[in-house]
Each structure stands twice: as structure tokens, then as C-alpha cells.
Structure 1
Amino acid sequence: MKEQLARNISIYRKERGMTQEELAQVLGLSPQAVSKWENAQTMPDISLLPALSRTLKVSIDKLLGYVSQDRTITIYEEEYKTQEYYWGTVPNQICYQVLQSMPPIQHIKLLDIGCGEGKDSVFFARNGYDVTAFDVSDAGIEKTKRLADQFGVHVDVFKADILDYRLESNFDILFSSGVLHYIKPDFRKEIFDNYKQYTNQNGIHILNVFVNKPFIAPPPEKEPNAFKWYSGELLAYYQDWYIKDSSEVVFDCNSSGIPHKHAMTKMMAQKISALD
């Protein structure tokens, strides 16, 4: 818990645009005290938690890591509450790239980051991968479990916010489709450093991200927690990895019932040890 609380204090302090010195001043403490919290050297006294919660504008439960959100993050929470699968149950085409690049001929741990209703997670589990998945939507998690049960496979799925969650154990494959725009620019380097650190040697990341283009109109969905990416930005976080595949595509979409277009960067990168 100490490490998670330390990380959360740092994350939410930065979200408020506060320095360690400014947070310390509000709480009547020394900057060194806040620094020790964020380095997990010490923990705040329990009597300080209400003031810390008010200052950072986040619940005590969320600070301590007991819940993944205290406000609506995604517009799809309501969409996922229907009986039907909003995105269908056919896996994303890039799932087949995973099968080709690292087939499950041995035990392979795969993490689906932002699994939505679980169509890709369940596809991977059906093909023999050891699948862990998370999403911020309660309805999406329940539908992932339901779909896994329908096909008689297991997916270790749990609720987490992509901004809060950090890996603490290793995976062979990290997969994410249509989710990374929820990561605020200020947190991208830290989050991708964490993802890379907890990837096994020769492991792969298969990711895509919507990119901003001046000749494509903004999507009709009004997502308050979506943040722009730019061409080449995703690749910049993997300059020390082997880029097995990278492309940028423009495609038609009708997800909201209103025809529109998206531009998307797709990337597959592999972790390879440096030469001595």
C-alpha cells in the first residue's frame, strides 16, 4: 500500500498542477515530508488524509488505491450497459498479428490494457494465452466476464483507471487498442517506462492510438477525458526497442451512428537486450 499511496499522491498532485512545496505549504508541512511520501520512505499521518484528499480533489479511498474512479471516465459506460456488445464480439484484426508474432506454444502472459467489453481478451484466452485485462468501466468488466464464461475460458479481469494503474509484475505481451488517448500527455513517459520495465525480454507491445490530423474533423463523440496524440509520438517512447511494424492509417467509423473518420498509428515493438 505504501508504494501505491506514494504513486497516487504524486499523480494527483501533478494533476492539480502543484509542486511538492505548494502541497506542503497547504498542509502546513515541510517540502521534505511530501518528498518522503512520494518516494515511499514514509506515509502521511492518518489525521492528514482528509486535508490531503480535499487538496488533491480525490477521495481517500482512491488515494489508498481501493477504487479506480470516483467520477465517470468514459462515455461508453452507459453504452456497455445494454445486452448487446457495442463493439461486437469479432476480435480486432491486430489480434492476429499477436498470434503470428508470438504464438502460444508455451506459457505466455498477456495484458489487455483497456479491454472494453472483452472481445479481444476472450479471443486471446480462447487461443491459449494467460490473459489479464483491465478497464475503467464496470459494465465492460461484467460483459468481459460473461463473454469469457460463454466460451468457457478464463480472463483475469479487474477495474482500473489507465492513469492510476502501474504494473508490478512482468508480462510477455502488452496489447491495447483504442484506449491510449485517455493517457494525459504529462503522464505518458512515466506510464510507458513502467510498461517497458515490466515486460519480459523478447516480449512485445502491440498498440494503437488515434492521432490528430488537421484534415480530419474531430469525432462526433464528445469525450471530456480524451487527449490528442500526434504522428510519431508513440514511436518516440520505443526508440530503444526493435520496431517490428509501424503504420498510420485513415479509416471510416460509424460507432456513434454518425459517419466519420479516424487517423490511427499502429505499432508493434519488441524488447531486445542491448549488446554488452
Structure 2
Amino acid sequence: MNALVQNISKYRKMRGFTQEELAQKLNRSSQAISKWETGQSSPDISLLPDLAFALGTDINSLMGYVYDKKKITIYEDEYRQEDYYWGLKPSPMCYRVMEMAPPVKPLRLLDVGCGEGKDSVFFARNGYIVTAFDMADTGVEKTKKLADLYQVNVNVFKANILDFRLETEFDVIFSSGVFHYIKAELRSEILDNYKNNTAVGGIHMFNVFVPKPFIPPAPEQEPTAQNWKSGELFTYYTDWRLHTVSEIVFDCNSSGIPHKHCMDMMMAGKMG
């Protein structure tokens, strides 16, 4: 948080804005800007893209994250194609979320590692208030494009799951096919951050790939992928109610080469 406090002030002054001028650009009060810069309050997560744009920077720099400039996901290039690499059909997990947390009232949903946005846009089309992030610039742009196509709002921005931490509460946190990027030493910290920023009665819906000796390695070469142990994901939620705990083996053709994956899937609810 200290980095964000310092950087709002730093980038505002670099652009030559007064607090009043920045407030006008964001449709906020100058008092709100002052509180951000003194650490008395924080901008809502949904405002970060507009704040970064107004200050002439990006969210990563604004939050004080320093990145290795080398490519961190193989999908940065895959998403450059005109078609949608993962297609447009939402994950079956989306329907499970809708069963457990139907949007009969406004529900704030975060899609962690949204890829090209098919699940984020699906949720937005069904009435959820959707925030999403991905580490691939091309994924963020295609998410925006898909949201525009269906005329829905998805607050999407670029962030790295390893560095980004939540400071805003959500009712639903969703992620599919992303957690294999989380290093073992960061899993407890990241999941605790997600749990602490979930409303009472809220849910988490996650999956994670797990290796099995009877399944050959997937053809995709992902140098930053990290193995999870079978059942490991569930152990971080012993203090929540587990609604869904399953392990499945399924066929995949994402690389154009037929192969199999084993995946643990979990839906957990935060108790009061």
C-alpha cells in the first residue's frame, strides 16, 4: 500500500496535475485524492485502470510492481490470432457459480487470470459486476473487445497473479486454469489475501492442474508452471465450507495435439 500511496502523488506531480485536476479527471473529490495520497483510504480496485491512465502509467507501475521483461506466459503470442484461442464457450465452472450464487442481487465477481475473457463476459452478460485481470496484454485487449461485442462492462486490467493483491471485497472470486503459475511459497499468502477480501457468504471457485504418473506431460511448454499436489488446493480452505471437491481427468486439444490433464476443482464458501 505504501508504494501506491507514494506513486499516486509521484505520478500526479510528474504530470503537473493538482489534486483538484486529477479529481476532475476521475470524477472524484479533491478530498478523496488527498486521502489516497496520505494513506487514509485507498482507491477502489475498479478505479485503478482509469487512475493509471490519467497518470500516464500502467497499473503495475502504479502499484509498485517490478517485472522481469521476459515473456512470462506462452499465451501472449497465442492470443494475437484473430480467433479466440480458448473459444467462446464458458467453462462449466461458470454454471456451478450461477447455481450457488445466482445474481438475483448485484454480486461483485473477480476473474483471476481471465485469458481472452470468455468467462468474464459470460458472467457480465448474466448480471454480475465483473472485474478481471490477466498477465497477457493481448488477453486484456481481447477481453475488452469481447465485452464491447456483447455490450457489457468488464473492468479488466493487466496484472501478474504473483504480485497483485486485493484491497477490495468481492462476493465471488473465480479462476480457471491459472493457479499453476503460483509458486509454492506464495500460495498461502495469495489465497489468504483472496479469503480476507471475500464477503461473508461469498464463494471461491478454483481449479488447478495436478500431475499424475499415468498421464504424459502436456505438449505446451510452460517454463513458469508449478506443480500442485493432488488435494493440495483443498487444504487451504479447512476453515471454509467446501461445496465442491473433485478430481477429474479430461481430454484437451488446446495445442492442436490431443492430450489429457488431471485437475482438482473446488468451490468453497465463507462462513459468518
Shift of 1:67: 6.5
Q: How does 1:91-240 map to 2 (within 5 A)?
A: 91-240=90-239
Q: CA deviation at 1:68?
A: 5.9
Cα 1:4/1:164, change in 2 over 3 Å? farther
Alignment partners' CA distance in 1, 2:90 and 2:80: 20
**Retained in 2: the 8 A contact 1:5–1:65?**
no
> Which stretches in structure 1 are left out of the alignment for 5+ residues?
7-39, 41-60
Q: C-alpha displacement at 1:70, in angstroms? A: 2.4
| Post-superposition offset of 1:65 | 2.2
**What residue number does 2:249 align with?**
250
Q: Is the 8 A contact 2:247 2:265 kept in 1?
A: yes
Counterpart of 1:65 in structure 2: which amino acid? G
**Per-residue CA distance 1:92-125 (angstroms, 9 max, x = gap):** 1110011110000111000000000000000000
Say how many residue pairs are matched.
220
Alignment of 1:4-15 (within 5 A): none
Closer, same or farther in 2 for the Cα pair 1:72/1:128, shift >3 Å?
A: same
Instruction: State whether residues 68 and 159 of structure 1, in contact with CA within 8 Å, keep that contact through their aligned partners in structure 2.
Output: no
What's the secondary structure of 1:213's corresponding residue?
coil
Aligned counterpart, 1:9: none
Q: Which amino acid aligns with 2:147?
A: A
Please report the TM-score for the alignment, with normalisation by the length of structure 2: 0.77
C-alpha distance after superposition, 1:183-219 (max 9, x if no partner): 0001000000000000000100000000111111111
Could you report, residue by residue, the CA deviation over 1:64-103 in whole angstroms, capped at 9, with x for unpaired residues? 6267662211101101001100001110111001111000
Contact conserved, 1:62 with 1:68, CA < 8 A, in 2? no
CA distance in 2, matches of 1:145, 1:71: 24
Structure 2: which 5+ residue stretches go unaligned? 7-38, 40-59
CA contact (8 A) 2:3 2:64 kept: no
Q: Residue in 2 aligned with 1:2? A: 2
Q: 2:116–2:142: 8 Å Cα contact kept in structure 1?
A: yes
What TM-score, normalized by structure 1, do the two folds share?
0.76
